Amino acid sequence: MNRIPVGVLGATGTVGQRFVQLLAEHPWFEVAVVTGSDRTVGRPYGEGVNWLMPGRVPARTAELIVQPTDTDLDLPGNPPVVFSALPTGEAKEWEPRFAAAGYAVVTNTSVFRMNPTVPLLIPEINPDHTCLIPTQRAENNWPGFIVASPNCSTTSAILPLKVFQEAFGVEAAMITTLQAISGAGYPGVSSMDIYDNVVPYIGGEDEKLENEPTKLLGDVRDGRMIRAGIAVSAQANRVPVVDGHLASVSVRLGRRATPDEAIAALRDWRPPAICAQLPSSPQELLIYRDEPDRPQPRRDRDAGDGLAWTVGKVRACPVLDVRYVALTHNTLRGAASGALLNAELLAVQGYIGN
């Protein structure tokens, strides 16, 4: 297929840079427009960006002139596609403007995740939720639309919950996360705060962990979002690990299951068939480790090119029913790569690239 020209909003930040890096060799998309801060506008991207990714700035993107964030971007497509890595305040203002101007906005930001007409997507979990897009367009009178990725900490915990929901039903979960410092962006957490320490607070994170799973695991009926009736209690912690969010989760099931039955469900689960068409989706999406000390961030975060879930320690829970530990790479599966998968899903489903 011809590569689809796309824009990256907020391309000079850390998530924006990750988008640029991932899109450089993507078989379906190519970066045609980048936007950035006032400091970088009007300069070649390669000169203006403080590049923090491994290697060099991709050569073609390095030559692009950084544009101000505005809806008059010279970007072809029906609809034109932009990936948003904007800061929260700018995203709240600009993402609806882009949708109203006819763009498909694939966002990594948190602003519209819980909006009932905005699909909160992980293609391997809820690809059917894109059917909210016609409702979103109709209610807002937008020719374009917004789709969102979940929070990186939610992502780390969610896939085993999906498997258990399908196999046994899920009524409640208690989630404790150990989150990498890269999740705080750059320059992130002060070394004096995180070295030899654990910080048991990440602003807004507990609430995201308690709300987003109910949307990801819900249903869309007649164009309306019906959130799953699952009670979630969450506590988020920042730990001195560079990359990789680890979630420790206890679950009350709809029907009782032994740990062996739960492990069998994880091993037997397969993603929806449409995911085989997504070039970035890993062949082995869910990896179950039998070792008593796995998963570990340093050893497991890069599984499936940073896009797989590694799960272990499924045991009986003396308070609820079963418990497990799950790990994902927070800046890949939990951020830019997850949003890129959403765009691939939109292309396969015909929402972009026509």
Q: How far is CA 45 from the centre of its chain?
A: 25
Measured between alpha carbons, how far is 144 from 104 in angstroms, rounded to an integer?
5
- Asked if 35 contacts 98 with a C-beta cutoff of 8 angstroms, the reply is no
Which residues make Cβ contacts (< 8 Å) with residue 251, sequence separation at least 6? 161, 164, 170, 172, 173, 317, 320, 321, 322, 323, 324
Concerning whether 275 is annotated as a catalytic residue, the answer is: no
Catalytic residue among 129, 245, 275, 329: 245
Residue 122, number of CB atoms within 10 A of its CB: 22
Cis previous bond, 297, omega within 30: no
Concerning whether 317 is annotated as a catalytic residue, the answer is: no
Catalytic residue among 26, 129, 131, 152: 152
E strand or H helix that includes residue 16: helix 14-23
Measured between alpha carbons, how far is 63 from 17 in angstroms, rounded to an integer?
14
Measured between alpha carbons, how far is 105 from 9 in angstroms, rounded to an integer?
10
Measured between alpha carbons, how far is 228 from 182 in angstroms, rounded to an integer?
30
Q: Which residues are catalytic?
A: 152, 245
